[in-house]
Structure 1
Amino acid sequence: MILYPAIDLKDGNCVRLLRGDMEAATIFGSDPAAQAASFQEAGCDWLHLVDLNGAFEGRPVNADAVEAILKRVQVPCQLGGGIRDIETVEMWLSKGLSRVILGTVAVENPDLVRQAAKAFPGKVAVGLDARNGRVATRGWAEETDVLVTDLARSFEDAGVAAIIYTDIDRDGAMGGPNVQATENLARAVKIPVIASGGVSSMQDLLALRDTGVIAGAISGRALYDGALDLRAALDALRA
């Protein structure tokens, strides 16, 4: 199972939100590229980046910070937030991003996901953010009646590289991930599923790994707070 350290970007800073609330942001650093370099130095295999402003505005906002990260590190990076058209997908991949994450458009324009996944094999993931099993969009500000499992299954034949599943009520709350819901989703689809939201301890990581079906886990606040030691966590997952 791959551990993805998270760098969430708001107004050019590294932040973490509490349950997706932009007004409840804690700033952890003003140099995202330096933070990315420190995660790389600890031995991570991937980085998970989120343009939070972009997710709300529907266009790239923290592009300078993302580009600085891409120039600073060699590990592959995936990015979500504000990617709503094929031109933006192509732009980011041309700048060295290894994978784009399509969230809002997966609900509002699923054909775009299929088009992008076909045009860029292995480089398009779907971000499914949910409250009580139902998908939320536009930076988690709008809730829908779409069930996570139904939407995930609809992309089974699209060629997407992964599904990033976030339980919004767990995100940034340090209360542990929703292991059961994530496992249920991973068993319901053939697409690799990455867990996000609430991963805050070694025990959480091992619980996700031990399901045997979850491909990855994203952690942010726990790494910044020191509740989770990245190097030790990577060693444990590789053992």
Structure 2
Amino acid sequence: MLIIPAIDLRAGKCVRLVEGRLDRETVYSDNPMAVARIWEGNGARLLHVVDLDGAFAGSPKNLETINSIIEAVGIPVQVGGGIRDIPTIERLLQMGVARVILGTVAIRNPELVQEACDRFGERIVVGIDARDGKVAIEGWGLTAEKDALELVNEVSKMGIKRVIFTDISRDGTLKGPNLEAIKKLVTSVDVKVIASGGVSTIDDIKSLNELKHLGVEGVIVGKALYAGTVSFTEALEIVNKERSALPC
């Protein structure tokens, strides 16, 4: 299972929000590129970057910073936040983004998701953010009348192979991930799932790692890493333990 550090961008800075609320923001660094290099140096194999300004505005607003992060590291970077048309997807892929995350358009414009999947294959990931089981869109400002599980089934039929599932009520709260919802998701659909939201302790990493055989491919960790309640090195040791124990 991958441990994926999150870098959330707002006005070019690395921040964290609680439950997606702008009035509950903590700024962790004025230099997201330096933060990205730290995670790479600690052994990260993938970075998760979200353009928060873009998510709320409906189009990316931190492209220069995203480009600088990509140039600063040698590991893949996946990017989401306000990506709602094919030209924007193409621009990000041309910049060197490894995976583009689509969220709101999965509800607003599913035809675009289908086209993107047809054209770019597994470089397209759908981010499914849930509030009380319902999909939240527009930077989590609106809640759609569609169940998260229903949406996962729909995008799976389009050919999407990987989704990022976030429980908004847990995001940035350090309350622990919604293991029940994650387990229900991975046992109901044939897609790889990256879990997000609420990770607060090393035990949360252990619990999610136990679900990897069901289809949990990775976990995105944000506030817990920045607040120091989870050691990235210790988390890596946990997920790599079984691999290192295999015979040569």
Place the TM-score, normalised by the shorter chain, in its bin: over 0.9
Gapped regions of structure 2 (runs ≥ 5) = 242-248
Which deviates more from structure 2 when the two are superposed, residues 208-217 or residues 10-19?
208-217
Secondary structure, aligned partner of 2:169: helix
Paired residue type of 1:222:
A
Secondary structure, aligned partner of 1:59: coil
Cα distance in structure 1, aligned partners of 2:100 and 2:189: 20
Cα distance in structure 2, aligned partners of 1:206 and 1:238: 11
TM-score of the two chains, using structure 2 as the length reference: 0.95
Equivalent residue, structure 2, for 1:228: 230
Superposition map of 1:140-219 within 5 A: 140-211=140-211, 212-213=213-214, 214-219=216-221
Larger radius of gyration: 2
* Structure 1 consecutive aligned stretches of length 4 or more whose deviation exceeds 6 Å: none
Gapped regions of structure 1 (runs ≥ 5) = none
Superposition map of 1:9-88 within 5 A: 9-88=9-88
Secondary structure, aligned partner of 1:176: coil
How many residues end up aligned between the 2 structures? 239
Q: CA deviation at 1:187?
A: 1.0
Q: CA deviation at 1:159?
A: 2.3
Paired residue type of 1:79:
V
Q: CA deviation at 1:162?
A: 1.1
Cα deviation 1:155-187 (Å, max 9, x = unaligned): 123222410000000000000000110111111
Cα deviation 1:23-67 (Å, max 9, x = unaligned): 211000000000000000000110000000000101110111111
TM-score of the two chains, using structure 1 as the length reference: 0.98
How much is the aligned-residue C-alpha RMSD, in angstroms? 0.8
Secondary structure, aligned partner of 1:128: strand
Cα distance in structure 2, aligned partners of 1:158 and 1:170: 28
Cα deviation 1:86-136 (Å, max 9, x = unaligned): 110010000000000000001111111110011011100000001110000
Q: Does structure 2 retain, via aligned residues, the 8 Å contact 1:123–1:161?
A: no
Paired residue type of 1:238:
N
